[in-house]
Amino acid sequence: MNTIPHITRTDRRRALAAAMAAHGIERLVLASTGLHMIDLPNPLLHLTGFRSIGPALVTFDRHGDITAMVMPADDAGRAARHFGGDAAGVDEATDILGHMSSAPHTATVGFGALPHRLAGSITARLGEDARSFDDAFYAATSPKLHEEITAASRATAIAEAGYEHMKALIRPGLRECDLAVAVNLFMKAQGADDSFLMLNAGPRADAVMPSSERPLEEGDLILVELSPSVEGQFVQICRTVAIGEPAPEIAPGYELLVQAMRAGISKVKPGVRMGEICGAIDDLLSEAGFAQYSRPPFIRRRGHGLGAGSTHPGDVAVDNDTALEAGMVFIVHPNQFLPTTGYMMCGEPLVVGEAGPLVLSSREARLDVVTP
Amino acid sequence: MLMRNITLPTGPYDWHETKVPRRIYDARLDALRAVMREGGLAGTILSGSTFDDGAIAWLTGFTPKLGPAYALVPLAGQPRLLFSGGPGMRPSAQRLTWLEDVAALKSLTSDLSAWDCPKPWGLVEDAGLSAVAMHAIGHVHGGHVHGGMPTDLTAAMDRLRRVPEAAVKPLIHRGAEILGLIETSLIETAAPTRWEARLAAEQLAFDLGAQDLRLRLSAIEGGRPEPVDPDGAALPEQAALTIALRADGYWLLGHGWRGPRRPRPDTAGLARLAAGVAPATLGLGHIAPLGHSLVEPPLDPQQPLAEGQCLRVTLDSPTAPLSVLVEITAPPLPSGPRLLWAAAALAPQQSGLTGVRP
């Protein structure tokens, strides 16, 4: 039976405390920029579940005690309720310094993304031995919590509903951006708290990208990646839709991508390197004669981690040596430019189970055709 | 003003060549180059991010959406725009800027190393410029004979951006009009939950041509507004509204109020807003320019206001702040400065402005 470990936030904190002990770290300072992006790690959110409005810091010691400093100041009450204790609120980033003190055996996480003046000032305050703990932090806390996987499942259902809604709205003359807004708002009405939606169309595309004001036309292929989040947990599905009967070479090209995706997903199980998943996809496409299109600039990655603060295990890329663990969540998407078809997209989010992949979407990608 | 971001804004274009004439950008580029010449600089890096893109959007029209962007401006020759995204996404960036040299950012270090521009350089920082990016800039700049970090031109750029040109005023006025309509929708909404009120406001904003809408609907806790995460709860009867929207590249932000018991801020200084008057003498709250950044720095309280400036004045009160947006005139109009938008909770007679809401 293929199962997923039931991990709680307490488990994650214990795992982190153990990693700190192994590295001789007594205190961690974790930073959030306040930006919530699909591919921007947010260690503060990952550890605590708190989504800050602006830059924020928490300190976490090996005994599990947490203190928080948030911006703006009027968010301190919300933070205090979340953390079950005091939280300091400040309006100026430099005021955070008043709440920081030097302590031996302190390390930092997420400081590389902080505004440089703030990062520099805090690092100076923490003391010379404060060092980055980013890699060890994400490695120790990579598997998703039970509550995060539940949110990811819900987000995937919303993405699939959004896709069906999108197909129902498609008509020649509708601008890409208006379709994107409608799909975004629909998914939010279904319970998504944010959405990263790239959608573009044309008779032949080189890539997916943010929507334009171009009206849809019969003969277009619509490329779309729907990435809603629930409780901050982003997922993604990648799809391709033809408006009207597609050219003869489109369907076999798309079927090749779906086969490549299946080849990649079939490799997923604990202990496998991420690079092997990418390799399985590349091999299939190379055997079909598209080896030269399976490397930059045509392709950079075949998927990526998904999360609410951590994108570990990183990219589905040949040079990613991260070994999979049960409970990791990521998407496999071969999304590929083929000389015969242009760029097309297919991709499914999954959880790594104890015995293999558990795909979160209920229906595998296929080339859908909308008749105008 | 900190507002929770949207991970990827969607909607109509935030820049179009027909809305801001090319001559405006030529003049802005000339102004930046004059600053560079004065400082003996051969090139300048402008940084922009999803946190703050005020300077890069002002100069190039481009607003970063997928991550940081950089404009590399030589003293002579074509500026280059580097955007976050794959090379195949170039068309989506190219159509949102007047710059012709547009390329995907590979890595900041390699892109700066490949820039064929002599040193020394200047740097215009955005408020979100990361520690990693700053390290890369210092590494490339400091690795040559001039050494050290680029000259910081951020304050000089802020001064250049402070007074919008007459040609772009209609864009700001339109944004203020949309702000008023969003505020009205949130005051009058019958939506059963905060979340539904928010979605209706988003739909309205996009329908009116805005590209980004960020809201804080704060309940009053202990007599003060406190942010509440969007959820299924009902919109409070008394709520502080903070509305930020971006239309045609300009951010309009205002503090409003929903509910019968209105905040009563001190507004006496509003009617005295005029060119030549220093903010410190007005007794008003936070005064910041309207521009391309949501986090525009406040004005120097000792520096006199200039004719043509468009400003947000945030009036403090014990309950919740309220805002007005004004355009500075010299001499003041009989009704005071030109009012672009005022929180509906500010009755004209209370605001000190005899004009009515536009």
In chain B, which residue's Cα lies nearest the Cα of A56? B2
pTM: 0.95
Residue B126 has pLDDT above 50, yes or no: yes
Of A74, A115, A199, the CB nearest to B128: A115
Segment B131-142 mean pLDDT: 93
CB contact under 8 A, B128 and A38: no
Return the pLDDT at B335. 62
Task: Please give the helix or strand (H or E) that residue A253 lies within, else none.
Answer: helix A250-266
Q: How far is A177 from chain B (nearest CA, A)?
A: 5
In chain B, which residue's Cα lies nearest the Cα of A206? B88
Contact between A125 and A102 under an 8 Å Cβ cutoff? The reply is yes
A332 token code pair: 């496999």
B182 token code pair: 């969003």
A112 CB neighbours in chain B (<8 A) are 130-132
A209 CB neighbours in chain B (<8 A) are 85, 88-89, 91-92
Cα gap B171→A148, rounded to integer Å: 42
Please give chain A's pLDDT, 372 residues, in tens: 899 999 999 999 999 999 999 999 999 999 999 988 888 899 999 999 999 988 999 999 988 889 999 998 888 888 988 988 778 999 887 788 777 777 789 999 999 999 999 999 898 888 877 899 999 999 999 999 999 999 999 999 999 999 999 999 999 999 999 999 999 999 999 999 999 999 999 999 989 999 999 999 999 999 999 999 999 899 999 999 999 999 999 999 999 999 999 999 999 999 999 999 999 999 999 999 999 988 877 888 999 999 888 889 999 999 999 999 999 999 999 999 999 999 999 999 999 999 999 999 999 999 999 998
CB contact under 8 A, B7 and A195: yes
Residue of B3, B6, B7 to mutate for A, most A C-beta atoms under 10 A: B7
Return the pLDDT at B358. 41
Strand ranges (E), chain A: 27-32, 56-61, 66-70, 87-89, 106-109, 131-132, 194-202, 221-230, 233-234, 237-243, 303-305, 329-332, 336-338, 342-344, 348-352, 357-359, 368-370
**Which residues 190-249 of A have a C-beta within 8 angstroms of B?**
193-200, 205-213, 227, 229, 234
| One-letter amino acid of A303 | G
Nearest in space to B161 (alpha carbons), one of B16, B253, B27? B27
Residue of A42, A108, A116 to mutate for B, most B C-beta atoms under 10 A: A116
Contact between B247 and B210 under an 8 Å Cβ cutoff? The reply is yes
CB contact under 8 A, B12 and A177: yes
In chain B, which residue's Cα lies nearest the Cα of A193? B230
Q: Residue A96: CB partners within 8 Å, gap ≥ 6?
A: A55, A57, A69, A71, A90, A118, A122
Q: Output phi, psi for A116, to 5 deg.
A: -65, -35
Share of chain B above pLDDT 70, in %: 92
How many other C-beta atoms are found inside a 10 Å radius of the C-beta of residue A271?
A: 9
What is the pairing mode between strands A87-89 and A348-352?
A: unpaired
Nearest in space to A124 (alpha carbons), one of A104, A97, A105? A97
DSSP-assigned beta bridge partners for residue B313 = B287, B324
User: pLDDT band for position B254 (50/70/90)?
Assistant: very high
**Which residues 320-339 of A have a C-beta within 8 angstroms of B?**
337
A207 CB neighbours in chain B (<8 A) are 86-89
A180 CB neighbours in chain B (<8 A) are 10-11
Q: Side-chain half-sphere of A361: how many Cα atoms within 13 Å?
A: 26
Question: pLDDT digits over B176-205, tens only?
Answer: 999 999 999 999 999 988 889 999 999 999
A197 CB neighbours in chain B (<8 A) are 8, 10
CB contact under 8 A, A53 and B227: yes
Nearest in space to A107 (alpha carbons), one of A47, A32, A33, A21? A21
How many other C-beta atoms are found inside a 10 Å radius of the C-beta of residue B169?
A: 15
Nearest in space to A146 (alpha carbons), one of A13, A8, A47, A48? A8
CB contact under 8 A, B7 and A185: no
Q: Report the SS3 class of residue B220.
A: strand
Return the pLDDT at A97. 77
In chain B, which residue's Cα lies nearest the Cα of A76? B226
Segment B11-22 mean pLDDT: 92
Return the pLDDT at B353. 58
Reduced 3-state DSSP string for B2-21: CCCCCCCCCCCCCCCCCCCC
Q: How far is B130 from chain A (nearest CA, A)?
A: 4
B92 CB neighbours in chain A (<8 A) are 200, 209-210, 212
**Which residues 288-317 of A have a C-beta within 8 angstroms of B?**
297, 300
Contact between B175 and B248 under an 8 Å Cβ cutoff? The reply is yes
Return the pLDDT at A93. 76
**Whether the complex's predicted ipTM surpasses the cut of 0.90:** yes
Q: Output phi, psi for A19, to 5 deg.
A: -65, -40
In chain A, which residue's Cα lies nearest the Cα of B3? A53
What is the pairing mode between strands A66-70 and A87-89?
A: parallel
Cα gap B72→B78, rounded to integer Å: 9
Nearest in space to B69 (alpha carbons), one of B79, B80, B81, B61? B81
How many other C-beta atoms are found inside a 10 Å radius of the C-beta of residue B145?
A: 6
Q: How far is A356 from chain B (nearest CA, A)?
A: 31
Of B67, B132, B228, the CB nearest to A112: B132
A111 CB neighbours in chain B (<8 A) are 131
Residue B163 has pLDDT above 90, yes or no: yes
Return the pLDDT at B178. 97
B333, B334, B337, B341 alpha-carbon torsion, rounded to 10°: -120
Of B6, B66, B226, the CB nearest to A74: B226
Task: Please give the helix or strand (H or E) that residue B74 lies within, else none.
Answer: strand B69-74
Return the pLDDT at A334. 96
User: CA angle at residue A317 from A257 to A221, to 5 degrees?
Assistant: 30
Residue B146 has pLDDT above 60, yes or no: no
Of B7, B10, B51, the CB nearest to A177: B10
Cα gap A279→A263, rounded to integer Å: 9
Residue of A181, A197, A233, A333 to mutate for B, most B C-beta atoms under 10 A: A181
DSSP-assigned beta bridge partners for residue B257 = B240
Q: Report the SS3 class of residue A41.
A: coil
The structure tokens 């400036």 sit at B309
CB contact under 8 A, A206 and B129: no
Task: Please give the helix or strand (H or E) that residue A90 lies within, else none.
Answer: none
Of B2, B132, B224, the CB nearest to A53: B2
**Which residues 157-186 of A have a C-beta within 8 angstroms of B?**
175, 177, 180-181, 184-185
Question: pLDDT digits over B298-314, tens only?
Answer: 889 999 999 999 999 99
A207 token code pair: 């890539």
Question: pLDDT digits over B330-356, tens only?
Answer: 766 666 688 899 999 986 555 555 543
Task: Tell me what the pLDDT averaged over chain B comes to.
Answer: 90
Buried b / exposed e along B104-127 (16+ C-beta atoms within 10 A)? bbeebeebbeebebebbbbbbbbb
CB contact under 8 A, B199 and A51: no
Residue B81 has pLDDT above 70, yes or no: yes
CB contact under 8 A, A78 and B65: no
Q: Output phi, psi for A162, to 5 deg.
A: -65, -35
CB contact under 8 A, B229 and A51: yes
